[in-house]
Structure 1
Amino acid sequence: MAPRSHIEVLPVSVREWLDRALTERNFSGYRELEALLREKGYSIGRAQISRYGQKVQRRFAAIRDATEAARQLTKGAPDDQDTRSESIMALVQTELLNSLLEAQTIKEEAGSPVERAERFARMAKNLAPIIHASVSLKKLQGQLKKISAEMATLEQEAAQQGKGHVSLETLKRVREEIYGIIA
């Protein structure tokens, strides 16, 4: 296993300071940051700060892009059927499955069998709530389809039977106001 970078082993407060300094300097001024870190008692080279800065910059860009994409989707495409959540869950499940398959192919030098077993256990533990959420979503979608079908049947019967029964308008109101289903 590769040794951890000097930046990764910095105290959290120093790493947070470095993250802020990188963003305030727009991910430049690495020589100055090297000198400031040296003043704080840490000998970390400009090249290592630069590599770390690129990693932080990519992370920030990914967060910014994901936030903007979510804002645009929410603004431009309402999601009454919650297909976005379903898509996100499918994407996460696919990525986790790929990670599990990749981890199986890692050679023995990547750690002892115990370390590999611990990694698999962590992956499985992280996968469980995602699978549970997916199953819950499918169950709720099935219940919604069933309620919608039953309401449609009742509305047809009300339209055919006329007086003395629940009116078609009442059933439509129940569908929309109580169940939140818009036909």
Structure 2
Amino acid sequence: MAKRSKIEGLPPAVKAWLDAALVEGNFSGYEQLAAELKKRGFDIGKSSIHRYGSQFEERLATLKLASQQAKAIVDAAPDEEGAVSEALMRLVQEKLFQVMLDFQVDPKKPLNIASAAKAIAELSRATVGQKKWLAEVREKARTAAEAVTQVAKKGGLSAEAVDTIRREILGIAG
């Protein structure tokens, strides 16, 4: 079994400080960080901090890229009907399915089957919930459109004006 990282064993407050210091220092200054940790009572070498920092920097860069891409997608294609959420859920479902298909026991990267199954179940519930919400929104829009149509007809609006109002409520491109 692989040796557990000393950094992973740090108390949460010290680890949080180290993470913040790594980000603030642009993932450099490992000797100073090792010296500061030693002052705090933790003997962790600069090489260990560098290994941890490199992994942390890579994860942080991946998260930043994903956040930027998600923001760009939302900005480019507003999601009134939940299409982006649905697409995201499908991508996650596909990724989880692929992980399950490719599952191999690797002592360095253990896969927690229970956590994966829980993630799949939660994703399925989210998918069902999103579809239910979308159906409810569409039904409310149809009901509102019908009510407005009746009021507009009684008020003497032209058929064209009534149709325009109805299309706006339902979000139908004209």
What's 1:80 paired with?
80
Give 1:31 deviation, angstroms: 0.9
The residue identity in structure 2 corresponding to 1:17 is W
Give 1:144 deviation, angstroms: 7.1
What's 1:101 paired with?
101
RCO comparison, higher one (Cα < 8 Å, 6+): 2
Structure 2 unaligned blocks of 5 or more = none
- Pairing of 1:23-172 with structure 2 (within 5 A): 23-103=23-103, 105-106=104-105, 119-139=112-132, 168=159, 169-170=161-162, 172=164
> CA distance change for structure 1 residues 122 and 63 in 2, over 3 Å: closer, same or farther?
closer
Structure 1 vs Structure 2 CA RMSD: 3.6
Deviations along 1:113-157, whole A, 9 cap, x unmatched?
A: xx98xx323221221120122233345556778899999xx8xxx
Structure 1 unaligned blocks of 5 or more = none
Q: TM-score normalised to the size of structure 1?
A: 0.71
The residue identity in structure 2 corresponding to 1:99 is V
Give 1:45 deviation, angstroms: 1.1
SS of residue matched to 1:47: helix
